[in-house]
Structure 1
Amino acid sequence: MTPDFSKYTDGLMPTIIQDASTKQVLMLGFMNAAALEKTRQEGKVTFYSRSKQRLWTKGETSANFLLVKEILVDCDADTLLIKADPQGPTCHTGTISCFGTANDVFSLQVLENIIRDRKNNPTEKSYTASLFAKGINKIAQKVGEEAVEIVIEAKDDNRELFLGEAADLMFHYLVLLQVKGYGLEDVLEVLEARHKK
């Protein structure tokens, strides 16, 4: 269905942004036809900023882009839903969602977003940022070390130690995915393709 911008006197259509992985609503913005076209062409969510009176790509100053996965139009053709992969916090306050619910639920996607943010906005006190600074060889080595440690713990019956090593492996694996330019969604696509065979 084609969005009908003529339903609005200012040509600005409400646009809901949803995390493609977690399904969490991230923000609401407004698009005109030009913003939608730029979003489609560049694959990054672009709004029409009512305060700046111009097209505005989310993340153009922070690098916390919203990478488009899918664009949907509602049944009345007067509202857009964009499923996106956030490249860091969506809200200017530093939270994942402008609705403030992201911090209530922890998930692998939330952790992945935090890791991505540490990569894009490193700080000296961040262990994650220090891993990125050491480079891919050190990160890959760390994943290997954690894999060996979980195998060792698997042979015993200590729940706490085993799950601790599982968490360490998962964390460093997510860091490795990020340094390679991939995310959990890319891995899930491969698993989904295998599942369909």
Structure 2
Amino acid sequence: MSTLHDLAATVMARRGADPDSSWTAKLLSKGPEKCAEKFGEEAIEAIVEAVKGDRERLTSEAADVLYHLLVMLAARDVTLAEVEAELARREGTSGIAEKAARGG
């Protein structure tokens, strides 16, 4: 199992944990909107580091983005497996064609 799968499993397992003993449970207890807000904050921090060109900081911020993405997904009961299935469905499709099919 990959580190990302392990992290996703941990996030899902913490949904019912005590918010005083788990940062993940604390985030989830604040609701999907707060989880989405936190994901957005982390994404912006990653963008800043990408623009600056600091590889070490970008790596750290990217890890935060992945963690907070998993928390946000868990807040809406979306699993990593579902996201992977969507990626598999898109495999072999041109990004331009896929975007056009979504109307975007």
Structure 2 length normalisation: TM-score? 0.81
Mapping 1:22-101, distance limit 5 Å? 22=1
Counterpart of 1:155 in 2: which secondary structure?
helix
Q: In percent, how many aligned pairs have the same letter? A: 35
The answer on 1:194 being equivalent to 2:90 is yes
Residue 33 of structure 2: aligned partner: 137
1:173 aligns with 2:52: no
The runs of 4+ residues in structure 1 deviating greater than 4 Å are none
User: Letter of the aligned partner of 1:129 in structure 2?
Assistant: A
Greater RCO, 1 or 2 (C-alpha within 8 Å, sep 6+): 2
Q: What secondary structure does 2:53 align onto?
A: coil
Report the structure, 1 or 2, having the larger strand content. Answer: 1
1:51-81 Cα shifts (integer Å, max 9, x gaps): xxxxxxxxxxxxxxxxxxxxxxxxxxxxxxx
Q: 1:128 aligns with which of 24, 47, 51?
A: 24
- What amino acid is aligned across from residue 107 of structure 1 in structure 2? T
What are the Cα deviations for residues 68-117 of structure 1, in whole angstroms up to 9, with x where unaligned? xxxxxxxxxxxxxxxxxxxxxxxxxxxxxxxxxxxxxx611111111111
**Quick check: which one's helix share is greater?**
2
TM-aligned CA distance change 1:196 to 1:110, over 3 Å: same
Residue 121 of structure 1: how far off its partner (Å): 2.7
Q: Kindly name which structure, 1 or 2, has the bigger radius of gyration based on alpha carbons.
A: 1
TM norm structure 1: 0.45
* CA RMSD between the two structures: 1.4
Contiguous gaps of at least 5 residues in structure 2? 94-104
Matched-pair contact (CA < 8 Å) for 2:19–2:29: no
In structure 1, runs of 5+ residues without a counterpart are 1-21, 23-105
